[in-house]
Amino acid sequence: MSDILLRVVVGGLTVSAFALFGDLLRPKSFAGLLSAAPSVAIATLILSLMKEGSQYARIEARSMILGAVAFICYGTVVSQFLIRRKYAVIPVTSVAMVVWLAGAFGLWFAMVRIAG
Amino acid sequence: MKAHIDTSELGQSRWYEHLVRFAFGGTVTALAGVIAKRYGPEVGGLFLAFPAIFPAAATLIAKHEEKKEGRENTRAVRATVAAGLDAIGAAFGAVGLVIFAIVVWQGLPSYSMGTVLPSAMLAWAVTSVLCWQLWEMLRARARDKRSHDSKSKQVAPVHIDQPTNRRMR
């Protein structure tokens, strides 16, 4: 329980700090870089390094590559639907999570298959 | 447009908006840890790049744009486009995330956390900003080309010798 609480506090503070800095940046497209800042990753990796060791964190980072590729697809799809089609923000950003899930797990399954 | 810092809208966010970001960030970090513990670091690691915070961030951006002056439908369109531009930035940031993850993966365990994480952060920042700069450059070129094309179409060639009046023909 204390581990989860620590993750909540550290993760929350890291994300808030990056988000606050993002509020100051212009134009909006540049501020968007902070929306994909490695805030959650930094918090999680620090905790993993301290508790589980560097090999554990290394494996997490390797999988993170696949998640990040899926994030690129997610951001591209969301921007197209918002800018070109002018759909509402909440439905588009929520439904597009399917793109991330399909991309991340699809790449992960492919990697597992290739690795044998 | 050049990237810059604008502090004029710093007070625009309400306290509960900061709380929402804190809650989202904390929840995703805790979730990544729980998933890694249950299914292993290979699956847990995927969620280090989960865009959980993005819907909340994009919604807040759209909300702030809607509060600005203008007609209702114009404000709504502007809000959606602002969130869309944020998403483009997020896609470039995600390219940086790939590089961040590669630096951490290759850096550990040969180098210490104190060396690897700041190096990875720097790699993320440089990659993301370069991607954004390249996109801005291509956009500016496309805009200049469109402007040049529309100007050349406006200036119609005038032939003085040809009669314009039918009676004169």
Residues B135-169: tens digit of each pLDDT: 999 988 888 888 877 777 665 565 555 555 555 54
Window 8-27 of B: residues touching A by CB (8 A cutoff) are 9-10, 12-13, 18, 21-27
Interface touch B33/A4, C-beta < 8 Å: yes
Which chain B positions have a beta carbon within 8 Å of A16's beta carbon? 18, 21-22, 25
Look at residue A11 in the predicted model and tell me its pLDDT.
85
3-state SS class at B109 = coil
Question: Would you tell me how many other CB atoms lie within 10 Å of the CB of residue B67?
Answer: 9
Q: Which of A33, A82, A93 sits opposite B81 (nearest CB)?
A: A82
| Distance from C-alpha of B132 to C-alpha of A11, rounded to nearest angstrom | 26
How much of chain B, in percent, has pLDDT values that exceed 90?
Answer: 36
Q: What angle do CA A53, A56, A61 make, to 5 degrees?
A: 120
pLDDT score recorded for residue A15: 84
Compute, in degrees rounded to 10, the torsion defined by CA atoms A107, A66, A46, B95. -170
pLDDT digits (tens, 9 = 90+) for B73-128: 677 778 888 889 889 999 999 999 999 999 999 998 899 999 999 999 999 999 99
ipTM higher than 0.85?
A: yes
Q: What is the token pair recorded at B28?
A: 């995703």
pTM summary value: 0.84
CA distance B7 to B88: 22
Helix (H, G, I), strand (E, B) or coil at B4: strand
**Smallest CA–CA distance from B23 into chain A, residue:** A12
User: Could you tell me which chain A residue has the CA closest to the CA of B30?
Assistant: A7
Cβ–Cβ gap A41/B34 under 8 Å: no
- Quick one: tokens of B122? 């720097």
Which segment of A29-33, A80-84, B32-36, B70-74 scores lowest on mean pLDDT? B70-74
